[in-house]
Amino acid sequence: MKKLITLILAAGKGKRMKSDLPKVIHKINGRELVKYVIDQAKETGSDEIWLITGHKSELVREATRELGVNYVEQKEQLGTGHAVLQAEEKLKGKSGDVLILCGDVPLLKPSTLKKFRELHNSSNSVATVMTTEFDDPFGYGRIIKDLSGNIIRIVEQKDANEEEKAIKEINSGVYIIDKSELFDSLKHISSDNASREYYLTDVIGILTMQNKKVKTYLIKDNTEILGINTVEQLKLAESIIKSRN
């Protein structure tokens, strides 16, 4: 397999957590969210791990400094695409695949990630997107496919029309993308959307427009990709983790 570099998005403020702490250092079972995600990255076989920090960056570094990870700071929060772009300089001269994980998604099983990586490698894709299905997909980016079932692009909730909003297959926010293809594509994204942000999801549309091979990997257990945005979701994730033990 190709070398694997993991980027963990860990810059969020967590406005709905009723706290001024960075979102990723809220705790489940006494352990910071981001530590679960670092474990995911290590168990998937990452050769190096980078945390993209932002809000109160020093607190995230302090919580993780003994875990053998690297850091890059996103000084302004201008979207997920902008966050990943901050790592370009640090990764200059390196090749391989980039696994992108979210620092507030602690429930993803390493076994799922290993299968995801294996599919990506065996299919010779330049990018693979992890997806799942929700009966009520509100808030998630929708996976838009052609008649043959191939992914065309990802449309965010705020930018989706009524037909697109009815799609139940959603983007988990987890990707594996060839490093050079990732950073080449990021140079072409814009913030011309409802949020005025640079979406990482736009990379997928750019690659498919260039007729590059992009795959999806649908996981059945949608609880694995639950993101933590509220205190209630934190409690739910804690109960799921306890039920697994």
CA-based nearest residue to 98, from 178, 9, 1, 173: 178
Helix (H, G, I), strand (E, B) or coil at 226: coil
CA dist 95 and 97 (Å) reads: 7
- Residues 207 and 101: their CA atoms lie apart, in Å, by 20
Could you tell me which of 183, 214, 188 has the C-alpha nearest to residue 202?
Answer: 188
Up-side HSE of residue 87: CA atoms within 13 Å toward CB?
A: 30
CA atoms within 13 A on the CB side of 202: 21
Reading the block at residue 159, the tokens are 């930018």
Among this protein's residues, is 16 annotated catalytic? yes
Collapsing DSSP to helix, strand or coil, 146 comes out as: coil
What crossing angle do the helices spanning 33-43 and 110-122 adopt, rounded to 10°? 40
Residue 159 exposed, middle or buried by CB count within 10 Å (0-12, 13-18, 19+): middle
Candidate list 16, 31, 65, 196, residue with the active-site label: 16
**Active-site residues: which are they?**
16
